[in-house]
Structure 1
Amino acid sequence: MNDHDAIIVGGGQAGLAAAHAARAHGLTPVILEAGAEPVGSWPRYYDSLTLFSPARYSSLPGRPFPGDPEHYPHRDEVVDYLRRYADCLGTEIRAGHRVDTVTRTEGAFTVHAAGEASLTAPMVIAASGGFTRPYRPALPGLDTFTGNVLHSGEYRNPEPFAGQRVIVVGAGNSAVQIAAELAGHAHVTLANRAPVKFAPQRPFGKDVHFWSAAVGFDHLPIGHLLKSPPTTAVNDAGIYRAAVEKGQPDQRRMFTTVDGDTVQWPDGTRERVDTIILATGFRPGLSYLDGLGALASDGRPLQDRGLSTSHPGLGYVGLEWQRSFASATLRGVGRDAHYVMRKLTGNRVSTSKRCCQPAG
């Protein structure tokens, strides 16, 4: 006999959305969260992080994001929102449970968390997200750099870098936002393989997410058709493009070599650098599925739109481009979670386990 209907690994936005979907389909899941509380990685992001989507488009199912629907929530607002969402779910959440391995025998999964008794269930949802393992590209000579190297996931604020020569590697939202913030305190270069692409934040007076929702782009289930995620533009209200054009930060093609504390640029010039920040994204943290045989050789899950192609009963929520452009976002994980749960339960829907409904 199984301990639970479903076990959800991860208590961030993906895990909470998965729990909401599980309850809506008549299940009583348990969430195993490695951290101290079910808020995912949000508290560890840099201090100034602000969402590029307004509150109206930054909600999990059943509970609108509080405040002015048109404001852009700060990191700490998201953390508070997730805490409140977890409280209203009515779902058992076990914090401090870091899952080590998952095995499967005779149609049931056994989930092993460090220092805890094993749990069994016919269904496991891997919702530890697509942003838990920092990606560090193999840049030429980077492993020999004698200065400071850190990933954007370790960056908090610009004060420790005052007066330094800093290179930020990347071309996405985080890379540009961090580089622009640092430029007020240090000499900063934004290094990338191709020029940063900017997209207006509010074309024709409406946020870009309004237009994305209006034309149905957020909902297009095309993620499974992509061999690799496309490069997206940096959402900009005019601040970041103007900063780059002023050289604060300046933008250059990727350095060619690193020698000690010195980098060489494509034009042959060399200069000393104090810190290199890798704003190069993340990869799914799914090592607990290694022994199950559910992952490809590069660590990516063997899945189709969130459904395991190797193990019946195993699902995923929160992967980048899992089904759509919005799959790894607050506004998108809910749709994917309900799709996965509907497929795993055979469209069984309950009306007796509603949760996180708006007040009033």
Structure 2
Amino acid sequence: MTGDRHTQVVIIGGGQSGLAAGYHLRRLGVDFVILDAQSTPGGAWQHTWDSLHLFSPAGFSSLPGRLMPPQPGEEYPDAEHVVAYLGDYEKRYELPVQRPVRVLGVHRERELLRVETDSESWHARAVISATGTWWRPFLPAVPGRRDFEGVQLHTVQYRRPQVFAGQRVIVVGGGNSGAQIAADLALDSDVDVTWVTQRPPRFLADDIDGRALFDVATARRRALDEGRTDTGGVASLGDIVAVPPVREARDRGLLTARPMFTRFHADGVESADGRRAGVDAVIWCTGFRPALSHLAPLNLRGARGHIPTDGTRAIGEPRLHLLGYGDWTGPASATLIGVGRSARDAAGEIAHLLRG
């Protein structure tokens, strides 16, 4: 440790949520620092698979204050374009990001919160945790999984289909990442891919993209806040956005899901009817959990590993705000366009706290 430093607010995480929070704090004249564990700008977007594209056009995928410019030749920008946009955003607003800095823990220390890192300690009157979920992939418990001698990857480790040329691959998961990665592999004729899901996949209508999803999520939150009937939000429409590669693979008959297998064997899997299939690799597209280990010293965890919140503010620690982990920290707050509103609200609450 090189010593102790002080600021009004520490933001943990330099991805889209942390940058949006920094933008609003800067506008409110609050002193803050952003601590990012990554070596370069771009958050989790710099670690995705090669073919990943956004669900929405650039103009509907923007952080507050700065429209994302269109990507030439692409209606839906790819991850590389998003990384460049986030880097430009950080520079444009001169956001004070320090990297690479890994936060080890957040502790109460009288009237302040102490943020321990791998290099020094920061003392602040408030903390925004914006570490997301990408860094905590979830793998379900399936009998025999540890006995399987093939390759097992999670979404976070998948990059391109060429790695699996000539192999038998199972993609597990009925969400967007499962459908997109299964399509990516299926459209490569050198890969023998099987897509399995717990329940039949639900595709959204082809004309629905991130613009409509954000509106639906916002309407649901408004209904709940006003005590009206839960509309069901995005989940009521379906699970999978039919982005162009998914649509192509589906329409060509290459994206037909099969029921989830029930157990592993050393050289493959077994289905519920007892049939076995040889498999070389399994790609788990089974989601994520909030990356909140740095908040463990505060003892705030509730059901499902979530920290109970009122909006973005932690109920058990009002100096802590959580941003971008999903709808429980703001409607659509895990998206580029959706995080701005929750970031604005968190920054406003913190500014009020600092004035008190």
For the criterion TM > 0.5, the same-fold answer is: yes
Deviation (angstroms), 1:340: 1.4
Q: Which residue of 2 aligns with 1:196?
A: 201
2:308 to 302, 305, 310: 302
1:248 aligns with 2:254: yes
Match of 2:78 in 1: 74
Match of 1:260 in 2: 266
Q: What residue number does 1:104 align with?
A: 108
In 1, the alpha carbon distance for the partners of 2:68 and 2:13 equals 21
- TM-score w.r.t. the length of structure 1 is 0.87
Q: Whole-Å Cα distance in 2 between the matches of residues 332 and 170 of structure 1?
A: 24
- Tell me, yes or no, if the aligned pair for 2:220 and 2:232 is still in contact at 8 Å: no
Say if 1:229 and 1:321, in contact at 8 Å, map to a contact too: no
User: Separation in 2 of the partners of 1:151 and 1:25?
Assistant: 40
Alignment of 1:1-360 (within 5 A): 3-67=6-70, 71-114=75-118, 116-183=119-186, 184=188, 185-202=190-207, 208-212=209-213, 217-218=217-218, 220-221=220-221, 230=235, 232-236=238-242, 239-241=245-247, 243-244=249-250, 246-296=252-302, 298-346=304-352
Query: Which stretch of the first structure deviates more once superposed, 87-96 or 43-52?
Result: 87-96
CA distance in structure 2 between the partners assigned to 1:106 and 1:230 by the alignment? 43
CA contact (8 A) 2:313 2:346 kept: yes
Greater share of helix residues, 1 or 2? 2
Secondary structure of residue in 1 paired with 2:26: helix
- Partners in 2 of 1:322 and 1:18 — Cα distance? 17
Report the CA distance shift for 1:238/1:77 in structure 2 as closer, same or farther (over 3 A).
closer
Deviation at 1:241, TM superposition (A): 4.9
Return 5+ residue gaps in structure 1 as ranges.
350-360
Q: 1:134 to 1:237 in 2, by over 3 A?
A: closer
The one-letter code sitting in structure 1 at the alignment partner of 2:337 is R
Distance 2:42 2:86 in 1: 6
Shifted more, 101-110 versus 131-140: the winner is 131-140
Distance 1:192 1:274, change over 3 A: same
Structure 2 residue identity aligned to 1:218:
T
The TM-score normalised by the length of structure 2 is: 0.88
Q: State the one-letter code of the partner of 2:351.
A: T
Q: Is the 8 A contact 1:200 1:237 kept in 2?
A: no
Distance 2:100 2:140 in 1: 30
What is the identity, as a one-letter code, of the residue corresponding to 2:100?
G
Would the alpha carbon gap of residues 138 and 228 (structure 1) be closer, same or farther in structure 2, given more than 3 Å must change?
A: farther
Q: Does the CA contact (< 8 Å) of 2:24 and 2:344 recur in 1?
A: yes
> Which range moves more in the overlay, 302-311 or 330-339?
302-311
Seq. identity, %: 37
- For 2:139 and 2:62, locate their aligned partners in 1 and report how far apart those are by CA, in whole Å: 30
Secondary structure (helix, strand or coil) at the match of 2:91 reads helix
Give the drift of 1:160: 1.2
Question: Tell me, what secondary structure is at the counterpart of 1:16?
Answer: helix
Q: Tell me the CA shift for residue 242 of structure 1.
A: 5.4
> In the aligned structure 2, how far is the partner of 1:152 from the partner of 1:334?
26
Between 245-254 and 130-139, the greater mean CA deviation after superposition: 245-254
Mapped to 2, the partners of 1:113 and 1:71 lie a distance apart of: 40
C-alpha contact (below 8 Å) 1:318/1:327 kept by paired residues: yes
Structure 1 letter corresponding to 2:134: F
Separation in 2, partners of 1:62, 1:140:
49
Two-structure CA RMSD over aligned residues (Å): 2.7
- Whether contact under 8 Å (1:221, 1:323) holds in the other structure is no
Aligned residue for 1:356? none
Number of matched pairs? 343
Distance 1:46 1:264, change over 3 A: same
Deviations 1:108-148 (A, max 9, x none): 0010111x121100000001113321111112322221111
What does the per-residue CA deviation read over 1:8-27, in whole Å, with 9 as the maximum and x for residues that have no partner? Answer: 00000010011112112220
Kept in 1, the 8 Å contact 2:105–2:117? The answer is: yes
SS at structure 1 position matched to 2:113: strand
> Given that residues 101 and 289 in structure 1 are in contact (C-alpha distance below 8 angstroms), is that contact kept between their aligned partners in structure 2?
yes
Tell me if structure 2 keeps the 8 A contact 1:130–1:320.
no
SS in 2 for 1:312: strand
